Chains A and B, each alone.
Chain A
Amino acid sequence: MYVAVKGGERAIDNAHAWLAEERRGDPSVAELSVAQIREQLSLAVNRVMAEGSLYDPNLAALAIKQSRGDLIEAIFLIRAYRTTLPRFGGSNPVDTETMACDRRVSATFKDAPGGQVLGPTFDYTHRLLDFKLAADGEAGEVQTAPPHDARTPHIMSYLDREGLIQPEASDDAPPPDLTRSPLELPAARALRLQALTRADEGFILGMAYSTQRGYARNHAFVAELRIGAVAVEVDIPELGFAIEIGEITVTECETVNQFQGSKTQPPQFTRGYGLVFGMTERKAISMALVDRALRWKELGEDNLGAPAQDEEFVLYHSDNIQATGFLEHIKLPHYVDFQSELELIRKLRRDAQANMQEAAE
């Protein structure tokens, strides 16, 4: 006698109760607060905001807590929440020249107006485990300097004056919204950049790295990397002027790349661009490299068949929420399709064995 398996509902309820218990961990250890995550795991919070496409450190910290530190799961929570929010409109473009820079470095000029500011960086730290931190996480006194109030001009603008950098096409049309219309190809650069800024950090890093190693190689210099707060302004039609609705921290990276010139254009530098929510410089630099690689057609370069040059490949596979969902769905039941494959392979084997036997006789 066989009794059919049942009990999906109860299994789900029990699994979720167990998950909640695991999330909390050993109850004799103090519970993490959302504020602690926001303040002390801020780079994780930044990544969740960037790839979740929602600038809200508290929600991102909550998502990290809820997801037990699985950042892709946290990004998923934020994305799913984000879809339910109404879209009121677009802001004016943020003016990153007015950024209050916490960090600003250039690899192309030793000094420039505004100076080089290392800021709170891991660079030049020796990656030695700090065992003292295990017992005492308090930071010492930090020296401060008066804020730099003047505009910090982009390093690129100095190349621009000499006409050495290719001018970017300017366009006042509102950019398309990837979350409100289906992705259709070919995608304009604005749409590509939008996809890249919310793309999976690891994927974009790998793609960027591949261009450095020779798959559509185009040597990039970091003309400038800046991180800091910028004002977000929105035009209010009733008022007739823009008002500042808040401040966000962003990371902006501009790379300068060589361009051989073509029949119609003398040799010139070209630009790769990265702009990402929060303090996310690995992502911003990677984004600039991938942006530059994807511009081959517009710049009249050869298609070398490299993955990073293939807009469809990059844009269709860079979203970690799409990727992880589809990847993990293969653990769902597939009894029915598998059964049909079983029948087929049994039949094909039967036929093949009959044929072999016939051939042998």
Chain B
Amino acid sequence: MTDYNFAYLDEQTKRMIRRTILKGLAIPGYQVPFASREMPMPYGWGTGGVQVSAAVLTPDDTLKVIDQGADDTTNAVSIRRFFQKTAGVAVTEATAQASVIQTRHRIPEQDLREDQIIVYQVPIPEPLRFLEPSEVETRKMHSLEEYGLMHVKLYEDISQHGDIATAYAYPVKVEGRYVMDPSPIPKFDNPKLEMAGIQLFGAGREQRIYAIPPYTQVVSLDFDDYPFQPTKADHACGLCGAHDSYLDELIVDDEGGRVFMCSDTDYCATRRRAGHVGTHGTPFEEDAA
């Protein structure tokens, strides 16, 4: 496709986004405003992630796109096709083979390496948003490091429910300074936020980019007597038998029968290829679809 520039955005826009990314990496967890462009896909559908990916992609990159951990969910397919069409980059479903991974709501099970970049799609970048609706106010709270409201919220959860009632988009503190929204990943994924890869977060509609450099300290907020606990369904994957992966729950019959399976489809397929079989699985065969 020659009608558009490489990876759709013009070079000036990509430079602007790269400068924003560099600023974000220099101030881990800080939300940097950027002049988000109107993309040919709707706001709220990954326009922030798409713009960040467009700015970091080079022709030699190999791109993987996942949504809910899976490569073949419709919006992941749509975004992957967008870059195949506008950037002509190689694509893969294998986590290990990707140099850039765009994701929505998950971090792959397999640890990322130093030569990999993961780009998160972020709906609401502001971790304090549902405590304070005004952006003017929340920016002030970040600059004053005024996070008392967040701790009060977590405390109230415990006093009311006996537990912190946040299951995804669980707030973290980055390098002891900024409280950050890790995007709506399940809290099971939070410990993986300390990783070797570069993590970039793009919120298109809200016009914010933020970042976590490799090996940065990322602490999930908690209390000494109520320590943070990553949780997942207490089952094994029905297809590959994994005990250590995040699971989706499927309703498989009219009686409401449930099967649990890995949300990370590449992780599951890799295990099945290696011969692991779960209680509902069959020995691995390449899918025709």
Is A326 a contact partner of B10 (Cβ separation < 8 A)? no
Decide yes or no whether A31 CB sits under 8 A from chain B.
Answer: no
A50 to chain B, nearest CB (A): 15
Is A340 a contact partner of B44 (Cβ separation < 8 A)? no
- A-B Cβ contacts below 8 A, count: 161
A8 to B93, CA, bound (A): 14
| B31-52, CB < 8 A from A | 33-40, 42-45, 47
Is A333 a contact partner of B233 (Cβ separation < 8 A)? no
A182 to B31, CA, bound (A): 12
Contacts of B67 in A (CB 8 A): 332-333
Is B43 a contact partner of A86 (Cβ separation < 8 A)? no
Interface 9-mer from A112-120, A208-216, A237-245, A342-350: A342-350
Is B44 a contact partner of A325 (Cβ separation < 8 A)? yes
Decide yes or no whether B110 CB sits under 8 A from chain A.
Answer: no
In the complex, the chain A residue whose C-beta lies closest to that of B229 is A347
Known contacts A6-B289, A7-B289: does B187 contact A325 (CB below 8 Å)?
Answer: no
Contacts of B261 in A (CB 8 A): 2, 4
Contacts of A10 in B (CB 8 A): 289
Interface 9-mer from A76-84, A135-143, A162-170, A227-235: A76-84
Decide yes or no whether B4 CB sits under 8 A from chain A.
Answer: yes
In the complex, the chain B residue whose C-beta lies closest to that of A337 is B168
Interface residues of A (CB under 8 A from B): 1-4, 6-12, 76, 79-80, 82-84, 86, 179-186, 312, 316, 321-322, 324-329, 332-337, 339-344, 347-348, 351-352, 355
Chain B residues within 8 Å of chain A by Cβ, number: 69
Is A325 a contact partner of B43 (Cβ separation < 8 A)? yes
A335 to B280, CA, bound (A): 20
Is A336 a contact partner of B246 (Cβ separation < 8 A)? yes
Contacts of B81 in A (CB 8 A): 9
A337 to B183, CA, bound (A): 10
Contacts of B289 in A (CB 8 A): 6-7, 10
Is A348 a contact partner of B45 (Cβ separation < 8 A)? no
Decide yes or no whether B231 CB sits under 8 A from chain A.
Answer: yes
B95 to chain A, nearest CB (A): 16
B92 to chain A, nearest CB (A): 15
Is B73 a contact partner of A1 (Cβ separation < 8 A)? no
Closest 6 CB pairs of A and B: A325-B43, A329-B44, A325-B42, A340-B167, A326-B44, A340-B186
Partner of A4, one of B68, B169, B239: B239
A64 to B265, CA, bound (A): 39
Residues of A contacting B: mostly? helix
Is A4 a contact partner of B135 (Cβ separation < 8 A)? no
Known contacts A182-B34, A316-B135, A343-B231: does B165 contact A336 (CB below 8 Å)?
Answer: no
A356 to chain B, nearest CB (A): 12
Decide yes or no whether B58 CB sits under 8 A from chain A.
Answer: no
Is A2 a contact partner of B42 (Cβ separation < 8 A)? no
Is A343 a contact partner of B263 (Cβ separation < 8 A)? no
Is A7 a contact partner of B72 (Cβ separation < 8 A)? yes
Decide yes or no whether B282 CB sits under 8 A from chain A.
Answer: yes
B268 to chain A, nearest CB (A): 8
A351 to B43, CA, bound (A): 39
Is B74 a contact partner of A8 (Cβ separation < 8 A)? yes
Decide yes or no whether B163 CB sits under 8 A from chain A.
Answer: yes
Decide yes or no whether B162 CB sits under 8 A from chain A.
Answer: yes
Is B72 a contact partner of A9 (Cβ separation < 8 A)? yes
Is B207 a contact partner of A183 (Cβ separation < 8 A)? yes
B138 to chain A, nearest CB (A): 11
Partner of B73, one of A184, A185, A333, A343: A333
Contacts of A3 in B (CB 8 A): 282
Interface 9-mer from B22-30, B143-151, B213-221, B247-255: B247-255
A4-B268, A336-B184, A339-B186 are known contacts; what are 17 more A-B pairs with Cβ within 8 Å? Answer: A2-B281, A6-B289, A8-B72, A12-B78, A82-B38, A84-B4, A322-B43, A322-B205, A325-B42, A326-B123, A326-B205, A328-B44, A336-B185, A340-B167, A341-B168, A342-B249, A343-B233
